[in-house]
A and B are shown apart, each in its own frame.
Chain A
Amino acid sequence: MTPFVSLTERDEREMLDAIGVSSVDELFCDVPEGVRFRRELALEPALSEPEVVAHLEQLAARNVRDEVSFLGAGIYDHYVPAIVDAVLQRGEFLTAYTPYQPELSQGVLQAIFEYQTAICELTGMDVSNASGYDGTTVAADACYVAKHVTGRSKVVVTEVTNPQVRQVVKTFAPGFGLEVAEVPHRGGVTDPDELAEAARDAACVIFQQPNFFGNLEAGRELAAAANEAGALAVAHVDPLSLGVLEAPGRYGCALAIGEGQGAGNHQSFGGPHYGFLAAQSEYIRRMPGRIVGETVDAAGERGYVLTLQTREQHIRREKATSNITTNQTLLALGGLVYLSWLGPQGLRELGETCLGLAHHAKTRLQEAGLEPTFSGQTTFKEFAVRVGRNGADAVRDARAQGVHPGYPLGRDYPGLDDSLLVAVTEKRTPADIDRLVEVLAS
């Protein structure tokens, strides 16, 4: 069996004759004998299509399903409308590559232009790239932008920024020639004065809004602290919060970044998703990754092309603003279809629904004797709650009853061993929340 191959034996013979060799093996005459692989690859036997489907269905069945889940911590169980999947399965989008030839790629180019517009509208920024890998790598990208804009060699990240975002920044910082400083939280949020102190000599300050604990930061004050120190203010935002929460471009941020998954991508065990990165116009020529721009064709008609390519690796090589080539276009297209389905009214209603459900969950838990970890803080769709014992134990016991109650914060924050991070999306119901309270309070 040779799957997905069209050559017959006769074709092969004719082609070898045309080439002027007698066997396929002869085509590899340039591969030195010393590096030729002379046994068969030790891979498992080939499967037919029905067999591969059965095999993967068995694997998929070994993952949990039908659990009432309050897991979030960066990836969320928001509803993905049917039209998103339908559009992404169009072969013309699915099986194309980067639109190097614009005359054959107006579909994806216009879609990315529309995506860039949507991200700019959400974040209040002037320019968005065509996508980054995910919500962690865009933070590293932002640091690279800030290093070149400011010429400084330190970046500041708040401790209540998603731990994975912080880890990724720390991985890449040494290569970028950057040091990373973290600012601790005070009662679940960042203190602007403390941030201002740390921001001195910093290239940028990254903070998350709502922060990892779900608490709303004083965004305007944090951005001001960065700006006063001459550091770029970078807000890591939840796109689905931006129907109800202010756009970072309107409270002094230079860049807005985030994880796009909740807006139009399935959870898919962590990917592929899209990260977004948007900026004020003055940073446009330092932006990482692909950008689509509008132009005209030879007949004067409007059209779209990849633009500002002198920033990019295939032209600028070692001086490029990033090494991004393959990005997350299809997932970003999913984001655009999703945001087109929601519209401004849907985005606002979704935000209010999540806000209402999460508030209901927090209140119900409190009534059952489970106090919020950070009292007095305003939250959006996620909040930390004390469960009166080790969070990991609480998760284990709740799961035995068919509920995943949330992420144990003790994994990343020593001292919060008794706290769970509970996420409530529009897919959870008041009845689901009743079950959450029941399993956690028991």
Chain B
Amino acid sequence: MKLIYEKSQSGRTAYTLPRHQLETPELPEALRRSEPPRLPELAEPEVVRHFTELSTRNFGIDTGFYPLGSCTMKYNPRVNERLANLPGFRDLHPLQEEEGAQGALELMWRLQEALVEVSGLHACSLQPAAGSQGELTGLLLMRAYFTERGEHEQRRKIVIPDSAHGTNPASVTMAGYEVTPVKTDARGNIDLEDLRGKVDEHTAGLMITNPSTLGLFDEHVEEIARIFHAVGALMYYDGANLNAVCGISRPGDMGFDIVHINLHKTFSQPHGGGGPGGGPIVVRDTLEPFLPVPQIVSDGDTFRLEFDRPKSIGKVRGFTGPFGVFIRSYAFMRMWGPQLKRMSEIAVLNANYLLARLRDAYDLPFDRLCMHEFVVSARGLKREHGASALDVAKRLMDYGFHPPTVYFPLIVPEALMIEPTETEPKELLDEFCDAMLAIAREAAESPELLKDAPHDRPVRRLDEVRAAKRAIVRYGFEDHPDLGGEPAEPRQLEAQKGA
């Protein structure tokens, strides 16, 4: 399919704008644009057709089953789109006077209250833009907390299990801390013996997902909390897997001090092809003074922004956060109400059903009931038939499914991480299991079906090594390379100068 720039014809336009008989002042020559940007030039019908065609080359939850582990790809209610586009929300300027934004402030305040209840903690900031920004914000709260206590220089270490998302260690470094990895034991819990040897007066905190990325609830979470709190360290809960435990077990009750919540996972903000997300953080009362500014506070029937918070870490994003995301998540929570527990129960039921049907055909690294997701391994298929987790993933596309997360967590070889969520019907879960079982048989009988997959997508398997090596990251216009033409020497493209 052509790029939009390849469809462009000089002189074609789509836009219409108001025109006024006003003088346009001349800009100083040194500041004036010297050459126009080569933006696409198409008439509006062709712009629409271009993006419609692109959409047909994409797969979303609206297209089919999307069991991408750890991403909680649940149905995104359409009503939320209507609500986020109400003109009273959509056209509201973030610097509007508080008196003119009472509805928006009330919505955010109500969402905060709901998130506080679900997490079992005390105070919320909606500001962080995504889960990983919530992590970084939470770590900066730890810094501020220990700085105030005069312990910042002493406490440099953050403990992270080897099953953690990559964002956790990346956030730790960005917050100026050091990572202390801790092992996973034979049941998939944190290895307590390893942990005890690593937590001391130099530890600032722990950062875990519970249930873990293995889809397992840590059976020793109370003991873990005792270990950290005994040395005066803090506990951070990565809420990536909160969809498993709403109304079942609250992070605050487990002993965590700081939580981030991925609104695009548990509370159904559409993932948008990669974003937007929302990463509110909820904290214990001891950490409340350090939350980002402004805070949204209620004076009874009116709501306002509080900027005068001298201990605050500052701002982590513009204004009060991604408001459109808050609208969708608030509406979603209001439609569930106190029965939210049922959402988690069904998510866990669906996952265990898939696990029960697949456990004999794939390797199971930890033989336990799972929470909202589980990890199986294609190690056996690879050893016996040469079919990898990637091959299984690609073959699933031929059956009409989005593959699970593959090769994560890193501690399970040939990992397939499967998360069905609560919104899928049993028939579809059965079809998926039938496909997974058929693929396991195919691996033995005709492994080329897996190796060559996918067979009916707009493209075949793509050469990622070549993409990284040549790094063509923008259209080159008249200089654009003909990649299919296999030049003898890779042409030196401008983006290749990087070290």
Find the A residue at minimum CB distance from B345. A24
Determine whether the beta carbon of B461 is less than 8 Å from that of A110: no
- Bound state CA distance, A337 and B273, in angstroms? 15
A41: contacting residue among B22, B55, B341, CB under 8 A:
B341
| Most chain A C-beta atoms within 10 Å of own C-beta, residue among B3, B63, B130, B462 | B462
Within 8 A of A (CB), among B61-80: 61-63, 66, 68, 71, 73-77, 79
Q: Mark A372-403, 1 if CB is under 8 A from B, else 0.
A: 00000010000000000000000110010000
Determine whether the beta carbon of A1 is less than 8 Å from that of B339: yes
B231 within 8 A of A: no
| Most chain A C-beta atoms within 10 Å of own C-beta, residue among B273, B275, B349 | B273
Chain A binder among B195-203, B249-257, B378-386: B249-257
For B323, the chain A residues whose CB sits under 8 A away are 268-272
- Bound state CA distance, A115 and B139, in angstroms? 32
Find the A residue at minimum CB distance from B425. A6
Determine whether the beta carbon of A63 is less than 8 Å from that of B96: yes
Determine whether the beta carbon of B318 is less than 8 Å from that of A93: no
For A429, the chain B residues whose CB sits under 8 A away are 18, 20
B57: contacting residue among A49, A107, A247, CB under 8 A:
A107
B39 within 8 A of A: yes
A186 within 8 A of B: no
Find the B residue at minimum CB distance from A55. B334
Determine whether the beta carbon of A101 is less than 8 Å from that of B318: no
Determine whether the beta carbon of A104 is less than 8 Å from that of B59: yes
Determine whether the beta carbon of A250 is less than 8 Å from that of B34: yes
Determine whether the beta carbon of B473 is less than 8 Å from that of A292: yes
Q: Mark B12-54, 1 if CB is under 8 A from A, else 0.
A: 1111011110111101101111111111111010011011101
Q: Mark A349-392, 1 if CB is under 8 A from B, else 0.
A: 11011011101100000000000000000100000000000000
B324: contacting residue among A81, A176, A177, A268, CB under 8 A:
A268
For A6, the chain B residues whose CB sits under 8 A away are 423-426
Determine whether the beta carbon of A347 is less than 8 Å from that of B39: yes
Determine whether the beta carbon of A308 is less than 8 Å from that of B471: yes
Q: Mark B77-90, 1 if CB is under 8 A from A, else 0.
A: 10101111111111
For B62, the chain A residues whose CB sits under 8 A away are 91-92, 94-95
Within 8 A of A (CB), among B228-262: 245-250, 253-255, 262
Determine whether the beta carbon of B94 is less than 8 Å from that of A12: no
Given contacts A95-B61, A297-B463, contact A216 B88 (CB under 8 A): no
For B161, the chain A residues whose CB sits under 8 A away are none
Chain A binder among B169-177, B280-288, B435-443: B169-177
Given contacts A92-B60, A121-B37, contact A87 B55 (CB under 8 A): yes
B192 within 8 A of A: no
Determine whether the beta carbon of A35 is less than 8 Å from that of B253: yes
Determine whether the beta carbon of A318 is less than 8 Å from that of B169: yes
B361 within 8 A of A: no
B474 within 8 A of A: yes
Determine whether the beta carbon of B275 is less than 8 Å from that of A244: no
Min C-beta distance of A179 to chain B, whole Å = 13
Find the B residue at minimum CB distance from A83. B48
Chain B binder among A70-78, A192-200, A434-442: A70-78
For A126, the chain B residues whose CB sits under 8 A away are 474, 494-495
A252 within 8 A of B: no
Determine whether the beta carbon of B349 is less than 8 Å from that of A16: yes
Given contacts A41-B118, A92-B63, A171-B140, contact A98 B274 (CB under 8 A): yes
B338: contacting residue among A20, A41, A49, CB under 8 A:
A41
A293 within 8 A of B: yes
For B74, the chain A residues whose CB sits under 8 A away are 4
B102 within 8 A of A: yes
B449 within 8 A of A: no
B484: contacting residue among A216, A267, A300, CB under 8 A:
A300
For A55, the chain B residues whose CB sits under 8 A away are 334
Min C-beta distance of B255 to chain A, whole Å = 8
Determine whether the beta carbon of B318 is less than 8 Å from that of A102: no
Chain B: interface size category: 35 or more
Given contacts A296-B466, A297-B463, A378-B28, contact A103 B353 (CB under 8 A): no
Find the B residue at minimum CB distance from A85. B85
- Bound state CA distance, A324 and B275, in angstroms? 11
Determine whether the beta carbon of A113 is less than 8 Å from that of B483: no
B205 within 8 A of A: no
Min C-beta distance of B427 to chain A, whole Å = 9
Min C-beta distance of B314 to chain A, whole Å = 4
- Bound state CA distance, A307 and B464, in angstroms? 7
Q: Mark B96-111, 1 if CB is under 8 A from A, else 0.
A: 1100111110110000
A63: contacting residue among B103, B458, B486, CB under 8 A:
B103
B488 within 8 A of A: no
- Bound state CA distance, A326 and B167, in angstroms? 10
Determine whether the beta carbon of A343 is less than 8 Å from that of B40: yes
| Most chain A C-beta atoms within 10 Å of own C-beta, residue among B19, B66, B318 | B318
For A83, the chain B residues whose CB sits under 8 A away are 14, 44, 47-48, 51
A236 within 8 A of B: no
Determine whether the beta carbon of A19 is less than 8 Å from that of B352: yes
Determine whether the beta carbon of B468 is less than 8 Å from that of A103: no
Find the A residue at minimum CB distance from B344. A28
Find the B residue at minimum CB distance from A220. B30
Determine whether the beta carbon of B23 is less than 8 Å from that of A356: yes
B13: contacting residue among A3, A30, A98, A345, CB under 8 A:
A345
Determine whether the beta carbon of A341 is less than 8 Å from that of B425: no
Min C-beta distance of A433 to chain B, whole Å = 10
B1 within 8 A of A: yes
For A330, the chain B residues whose CB sits under 8 A away are 270, 272-276
Determine whether the beta carbon of B132 is less than 8 Å from that of A323: yes
A277 within 8 A of B: no
Min C-beta distance of A48 to chain B, whole Å = 8
Determine whether the beta carbon of B129 is less than 8 Å from that of A284: no
Determine whether the beta carbon of B82 is less than 8 Å from that of A110: no
Within 8 A of B (CB), among A225-267: 242-247, 250, 259, 266-267
- Bound state CA distance, A326 and B472, in angstroms? 23
For B216, the chain A residues whose CB sits under 8 A away are 30
- Bound state CA distance, A295 and B486, in angstroms? 11
| Most chain B C-beta atoms within 10 Å of own C-beta, residue among A37, A40, A118 | A37
Determine whether the beta carbon of B51 is less than 8 Å from that of A337: yes
- Bound state CA distance, A130 and B176, in angstroms? 26
Min C-beta distance of A439 to chain B, whole Å = 15
Min C-beta distance of A175 to chain B, whole Å = 4
- Return 23 A-B CB contacts under 8 Å, by A number: A4-B423, A27-B369, A30-B216, A36-B249, A43-B333, A44-B334, A59-B104, A60-B89, A95-B73, A101-B402, A104-B397, A127-B473, A137-B317, A168-B314, A216-B28, A246-B30, A246-B33, A267-B93, A268-B323, A271-B319, A326-B131, A327-B276, A328-B272
Q: Known pairs A97-B273, A106-B459, A107-B55. 15 more at Cβ < 8 A?
A: A7-B426, A15-B426, A52-B334, A52-B335, A90-B55, A94-B273, A95-B61, A242-B33, A268-B90, A270-B320, A271-B129, A313-B132, A340-B50, A357-B20, A359-B25
